[in-house]
């Protein structure tokens, strides 16, 4: 008996399909397509194709429990006479391309997964004349290029920025000194498809009910919430372990990371063990990478003076002693900055008219529990703007992050409390993200909150604020730029509306100013600054005639690091070696020990670290590192210098890789 297969050959037309589906830059062997858009597969038979006599049927399946009812299995064919469940969801379509040659058995199949297809890895099998074979293995992603009811329109340049751009900028520092850090998202780097699918597969909802979880992956709202939970490892096998302490033993300081791919690859290669360590900007950077790979437009957002309101009363209480030290811990806090992401999606669960569509806050940093899980969002930015705190998900929490009032209290020696001040506008400042198509900072504060004189917050919260008669105003000003490695010079300026007596100063006359020099020596701060780039300086001013009327002023001083330069010499070409040069000058009278330089950049090189010799005082180091670029186009190379005193000084340069 001799068996002759009717199937001869399959061509996935990968190059054409991936170009048309905007997946050609993903480093992967699989055919990767986007839902709601057709792709072609060429099937060659050993005989003529006669659909009237022998129909051709295809079955697409994903997950461990494929089901037509759940949309994770679809049966379709030519002609479309396939018997399918009456409750079948997400039914795929197939037709013959016009240039097919049925008489010779050469069929170009046009296959379309619908715009509501659950994302994931699919197996497509084909059946003809009672014979069955594998047609294709396909990864289906969300499709921001798809128009229709399932998507919200974005301009071409916005899709290029929020889906396709592998490099970005994350803003840190303080509201008065905003620092930018290049971040390598690397969402299209090696194995990222498998890593992101693994993130979905090990989430707790999949563990509890895999069939429902796989079906729900048709919904970017659901997927965004799952990813938000899985980037942190607080209650699952998530990617990152957070650490806000001073010791990072057993892991990597959050400030050392330059991008997402190294973190995600380490998590994947260590059998989903949390990577140590992350803080808010690292959590957000990694989540942005995963969202962009999955096809959900995403950007990283920084909120300066960000409130954490644990008791949900929209008031942040801070306590001070008469020396300025905080004597009492508060569950509430205000961070000089906090970083989250925004995902672009529809919100039909909130309104059918599209009022809440568009940008949604998602925060993977583990702060508070949401539905028994450490995750946050998606919270509609439009709902946050208008104070619609009854809407899901986590709108009240994010609303407080940008709108809470700050109340400062003085704890006197006898334990009594005196209210120092109440500020309704200090929280939620300079909310920032990278601009589309450039490295400029875009201030998006007005998308989160109205100007103070137009705010309708009195309608949202019933809180009466104590107002005191202010006779003295105080502020810190910088005498010179605060350079890391040098003494920091400030002055405390007091302005009085009446004659006021102060301890250590005889008298401040009405309408006069008093300037008090404040010096913070490098020797006093450098050990405490090893893992940080800012310090907080505060002063408590007490009127001796009325000690129940204290005045508090504080400032965040962001230190400017010594210059690190990075250059790439000559013309840079694909797959040819280029030379990177890093230069650093030691500006202090101390020898820098444990020196190293790390470079990274998607399309240019994997993370490469060079251990260096100690650097004597006022000496320059110069190190050259070879790289071999593996992608064309404009890429960002990031360098990170580390030593015993100056930790994680970063710089970057643009490299144009030619074919």
Q: What is the separation, in whole angstroms, between the first and last Cα of the chain? A: 54
Q: Looking at residue 452, what DSSP letter applies?
A: G
Choice among 317, 363, 394, 533 that is catalytic:
363
CB proximity list for 641: less than 8 A, separation 6 or greater:
564, 582, 584, 595, 596, 597, 648, 649, 650
Going by C-alpha positions, the residue among 425, 429, 144 that lies closest to residue 299 is 144
Encoded tokens for 575: 């797959």
Work out whether strand 488-496 and strand 472-478 pair parallel, antiparallel, or are unpaired: antiparallel
**Is cis: bond before 79, omega within 30 of 0?**
yes
Encoded tokens for 78: 């030519």
Q: Looking at residue 2, what DSSP letter applies?
A: -
Tell me if 185 sits within 8 A of 315, measured CB to CB: no
Dump strand ranges (E) for 479-595: 488-496, 500-502, 505-508, 513-520, 534-543, 546-558, 564-568, 572-573, 578-585
Burial pattern 204-229, b for ≥16 Cβ within 10 A else e, equals bbbeeeebebbbbbbbbbbbbbbbbb
Q: Alpha-carbon dihedral of residues 24, 28, 33, 34, nearest 10 degrees?
A: -90
338 is catalytic: yes
Tell me if 595 sits within 8 A of 643, measured CB to CB: yes
CB proximity list for 494: less than 8 A, separation 6 or greater:
472, 473, 474, 502, 508, 513, 514, 515, 516, 541
Tell me if 539 sits within 8 A of 553, measured CB to CB: yes
Using CA atoms, how far apart are residues 541 and 475, in angstroms rounded to an integer?
A: 11
- Cα separations in angstroms, 329 against 116, 317, 326, 332, 411: 49, 10, 7, 9, 12
Going by C-alpha positions, the residue among 576, 588, 558 that lies closest to residue 627 is 576
Choice among 179, 338, 405, 406 that is catalytic:
338
Using CA atoms, how far apart are residues 649 and 593, in angstroms rounded to an integer?
A: 15
Active site positions, annotated: 280, 338, 363
């Amino acid at each position: 008996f001799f068996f002759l297969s009717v199937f001869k050959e399959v061509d996935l037309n990968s190059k054409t399909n991936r170009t048309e589906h905007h997946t050609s830059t993903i480093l992967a062997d699989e055919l990767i397509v986007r839902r709601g858009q057709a792709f072609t597969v060429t099937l060659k038979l050993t005989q003529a194709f006669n659909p009237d006599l022998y129909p051709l049927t295809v079955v697409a399946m994903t997950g461990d429990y494929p089901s037509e009812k759940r949309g994770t299995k679809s049966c379709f064919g030519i002609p479309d006479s396939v018997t399918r469940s009456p409750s079948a969801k997400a039914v795929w379509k197939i037709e013959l391309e016009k240039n097919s040659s049925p008489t010779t058995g050469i069929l170009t199949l046009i296959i379309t997964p619908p715009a509501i297809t659950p994302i994931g890895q699919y197996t497509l099998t084909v059946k003809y004349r009672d014979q069955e074979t594998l047609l294709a293995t396909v990864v289906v992603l969300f499709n921001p290029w798809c128009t229709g009811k399932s998507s919200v329109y974005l301009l071409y340049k916005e899709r290029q920025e929020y889906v396709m751009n592998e490099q970005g900028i994350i803003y840190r520092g303080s509201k008065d000194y905003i620092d930018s850090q290049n971040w390598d998202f690397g969402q299209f780097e090696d194995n990222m498809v498998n890593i992101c699918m693994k993130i979905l597969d090990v989430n707790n909802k999949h563990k509890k009910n895999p069939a429902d979880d796989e079906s729900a992956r048709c919904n970017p709202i659901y997927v965004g919430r799952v990813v938000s939970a899985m980037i942190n490892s607080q209650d699952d096998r998530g990617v990152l372990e957070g650490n806000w302490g001073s010791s990072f033993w057993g892991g990597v300081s959050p400030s050392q990371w330059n991008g997402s791919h190294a973190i995600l690859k380490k998590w994947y290669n260590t059998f989903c063990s949390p990577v140590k360590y992350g803080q808010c900007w690292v959590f957000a950077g990694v989540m942005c990478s995963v969202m962009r790979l999955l096809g959900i437009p995403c950007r990283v957002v920084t909120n300066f003076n960000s409130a954490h309101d644990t008791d949900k009363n929209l008031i942040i209480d801070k306590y001070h002693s008469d020396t300025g030290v905080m004597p009492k811990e508060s569950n509430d806090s205000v961070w000089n900055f906090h970083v989250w992401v925004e995902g672009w999606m529809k919100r039909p669960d909130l309104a059918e008219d599209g009022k809440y569509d568009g940008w949604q806050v998602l925060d993977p940093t583990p702060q508070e529990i949401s539905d028994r899980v450490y995750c946050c969002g998606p919270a509609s930015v439009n709902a946050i703007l208008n104070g619609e705190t009854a809407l899901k998900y986590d709108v009240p929490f994010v609303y407080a992050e940008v709108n809470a009032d700050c109340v400062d209290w003085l704890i006197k020696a006898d334990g009594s409390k005196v209210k120092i001040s109440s500020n309704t506008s200090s929280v939620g400042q300079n909310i920032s993200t990278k601009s589309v198509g450039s490295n400029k900072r875009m201030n998006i504060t007005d998308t989160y909150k109205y100007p103070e004189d137009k705010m309708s917050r009195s309608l949202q919260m019933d809180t009466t604020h104590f107002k005191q008669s202010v006779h003295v105003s105080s502020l810190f000003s910088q005498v010179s730029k605060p350079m890391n490695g040098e003494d920091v010079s400030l002055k405390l300026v007091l302005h009085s509306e009446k004659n006021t007596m102060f301890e250590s100063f005889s008298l401040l006359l009405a309408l006069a100013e008093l300037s008090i020099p404040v010096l913070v020596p490098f020797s006093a701060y450098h050990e405490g600054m090893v893992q940080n780039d800012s310090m907080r300086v505060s002063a408590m001013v007490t009127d001796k005639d009325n000690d129940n009327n204290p005045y508090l002023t504080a400032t965040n001083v962001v230190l400017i690091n010594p210059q690190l330069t990075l250059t790439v010499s000559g013309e840079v070409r694909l797959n040819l070696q280029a030379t990177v040069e890093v230069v650093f000058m030691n500006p202090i009278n101390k020898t820098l020990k444990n020196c190293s330089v790390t470079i990274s950049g998607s399309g240019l090189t994997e993370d490469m670290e060079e251990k260096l010799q100690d650097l004597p005082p006022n000496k320059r180091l110069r190190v050259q590192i070879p790289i071999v670029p593996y992608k064309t186009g404009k890429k960002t190379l990031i360098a990170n210098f580390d030593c015993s005193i100056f930790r994680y000084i970063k710089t970057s340069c643009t490299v144009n890789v030619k074919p």
